[in-house]
Amino acid sequence: MWKLGLIPFVLQALAIGIDEAWFHRRRGLPRWERIGHPIDTLTVLLCMGYVLFVSYSKEAILPYALLAIFSSFMVTKDEFVHKEHCTASEQWLHALLFILHPITLLSAALIWPVSQGIEIAPWFASWLDQRETLRRFLVGQFFAMTLFMSYQIIYWNFIRTTSDKQ
């Protein structure tokens, strides 16, 4: 059952991969996206870093929730201008990503106490029963997101710096 908690991460990674590999590379990214996308990824990294490096407690939940809400709003910031640059299919994919984003952050929040070995409700503990595997998964996600953000910065700002639509 613990694998169900990873599904939002997998779906989000697939959707971002399609967005990046198909849509972004085909149309190029204007400067505002070359700057904005790594910032979006940074807000997710802040959430992932929080669940990795902050001890789970009732007091720690509110700051995480605020980070997750901020990140969920931050990723929508470009949609006002995307309508001028993106096809309908890319905008649909963005809508899917906007749905997956808070679900993924909620999944991270649910995995958080388990990954730190904190006792939770018995029904919940039986569902997410792979403490070390989940911890390694969160660490892997953090490093994968860090690599992706590095790629976003390096590729789009130093390797491919022009766009068809500026």
**Dist. CA 98–CA 163, nearest whole Å:** 24
Please tell me the chain's helix, strand, coil percentages from 3-state DSSP, rounded to the nearest 5. Answer: 80, 0, 20
Q: What is the pTM of this model?
A: 0.91
Which residue would you say has higher pLDDT here, 146 or 30? 146
The number of CA neighbours under 13 Å toward the Cβ of 60 is: 14
Residue 3 is given by DSSP the state G
pLDDT tens string 28-46: 999 999 999 999 999 999 9
pLDDT, position 55: 97
166 falls in which pLDDT band (50, 70, 90)? very low
Domain boundaries, given as residue ranges, for the chain: 2-159
pLDDT tens string 76-112: 998 888 878 899 999 999 999 999 999 999 999 999 9
